[in-house]
Structures are given as structure tokens and as C-alpha cells.
Structure 1
Amino acid sequence: MALHPVAESVPRARRWFRKFIAPYDQGCPVEDCVLLISELVTNAIVHGKSDEPWIVRVRWFRVGASLRVEVHNPGLPENVRLRCPEADDSHGRGLLLVDFIADSWHTGASRFGGTVVSSEIAGVWQ
């Protein structure tokens, strides 16, 4: 899926994922997967940087019983990090949520240039 780096792309990604997963028998709450995708897409939009027009690339696929999600943007991989926001901070919790929901996640250089953040949730499919 290719998304423009605008806020409206986040609900679009959620809708497309729900349509993708609807025909399958899930072994975990779909809303956990939707929240994970929302956070990764939001972070890609907020933190992606380029002097040229760009898009956010989202891939989700099944790996055995697990769901793997990859989100690519033109940001720098070294800028992706867990933050420890204060209670009154209004931002900075996205990767904390990803870390809590996903069984694993990592970041690195994207094959499209920029950054990829990928995550995996085990037991999505029975």
C-alpha cells in the first residue's frame, strides 16, 4: 500500500487492513493489529523527511501464524527510538505502544531508501 504523508492516510491504512484480515479466523484481537499499524503509519508520516515528494509504503503479510508489518518512509533509521515521555507530554508514545503490542520490532535501512520499521505479532492466525 502506498500512502501520501498526510493525516488522512492513517484511517485509510486501518480500513484497508480490516478489509484484508476480515475473511480470516484471527487468534488475537484485530484492534491490537490496527493500533500497531496506526502508530507505525503515524510515525512514518510525522518523522519522514525529504526534499522531494514522497510516500509511505506499508506492507503486511502472514508469516506462519504471525502478522508482519513493514512501514517505509524517507526518514533516517537512527532517528527511530523509544522515548520516555512525561505524563503531561502529548506525543512520544507511539513506539512504546508498538513495543507493548508486538512480539518483536526493529528498524533499519529501507530497500526504498530511508527507514523501515517492521514488527511482528505472533498468533494472529489460528
Structure 2
Amino acid sequence: MTYTIDRNPCEESPRLGAMTLHPVAESVPRARRWFRKFIAPYNPACSIHDCVLMISELVTNAVVHGRSDEPWVVRVEWFRESGSLRVKVHNPGLPENVRLRHPDAGDAHGRGLLLVDSVADSWHAGPSRFGGTVVSFRMAEAWPS
């Protein structure tokens, strides 16, 4: 496992941190722990608990739905964008497979993006700069002026 942290965010370098995870179930709690640890020094005003919940959902989706014939990883990055916090989760899956579902009450799966949609101020899915898919969410007013 690897991680990087940018200790001095600024307009030219808004990334606050990143982690690279193996596509295994154990990476989900690891992502939660690392995010909590590495976002804490920046003291955001948004709910860290909500962010950790959404990261859990997106990393789980990345591990379950990522596909590649080659060895691959899940990448998680977090950025300061003006006063907002943006979190991105990358995997080698197909961007067109990411969709908001509306499962029946008895369905065991399919609620992850519904949760992200209800908690985040906005979210987006599309092609990743690493190839594959990126799903991101934004928490507005994480650092009020």
C-alpha cells in the first residue's frame, strides 16, 4: 500500500492527499482510516463522518466493479477546490456502467450511489485520467471563507 500527502495546499497544488489501494475488501476500512488521519490536520468544517461513509461506498464499488486483465489498483484522491472538498475514486471499470439505481426494498445491493447522491452536495462519474472510471463527490463549504 502507498499513500502521499501534500502538506501545504495552495491554489497551484490543491491536492491534500492520495492513497493507492489493492482491489480487496480490506482496502475499504483502510481507506476510511487513512482518510480520517490525513484530512484531520486540515480541519474541514464538513462532516468527516459523511465523507468517510461515502468513501466506503465508492471504494467498495471500485473494488467490486473494477475490471482489468492486468494487475490494478484503486486510487483515492482528495482536493481543496476553493472552499469545497472534492474526493475522487479511480478504478479500471467502464464509466458507462456507473449509474444511479433505485433498488427495491428487498434488494441487497445498489444503494451506494443513492447514499452519495443524498449526502454530497454534488457527485460525478466519468472517464479517469488513469484510464477506466472516476467517481467523485464534493462537499461544499468545507472551508468557509
TM-score, length-normalised on structure 2?
A: 0.83
Q: What does residue 25 of structure 1 align with? A: 43
RMSD: 1.1
SS in 1 for 2:42: coil
- Structure 1 residue 75 and structure 2 residue 93: aligned? yes
Equivalence for 1:63:
81
Whether contact under 8 Å (1:24, 1:125) holds in the other structure is no
Task: Please say if 1:93 is aligned against 2:111.
Answer: yes
In structure 2, stretches of 5+ residues that fail to align are 1-18
- Once the two structures are aligned, what percentage of the paired residues are identical? 76
- 3-state secondary structure, aligned to 1:23: helix
1:4 — aligned with what? 22
CA distance in 2, matches of 1:6, 1:15: 15
3-state SS of paired residue (1:22): helix
- Give the Cα–Cα distance (whole angstroms) in 1 for the partners of residues 26 and 143 of structure 2: 28
Aligned length: 126
Deviations 1:90-126 (A, max 9, x none): 1100000111111111111111111111111112234
Q: Which moved more, 1:96-105 or 1:23-32?
A: 23-32
The AA in structure 1 aligned to 2:71 is P
Q: Which moved more, 1:22-31 or 1:97-106?
A: 22-31
Aligned partner of residue 117 in structure 1, secondary structure = strand
Structure 1 length-normalised TM: 0.95
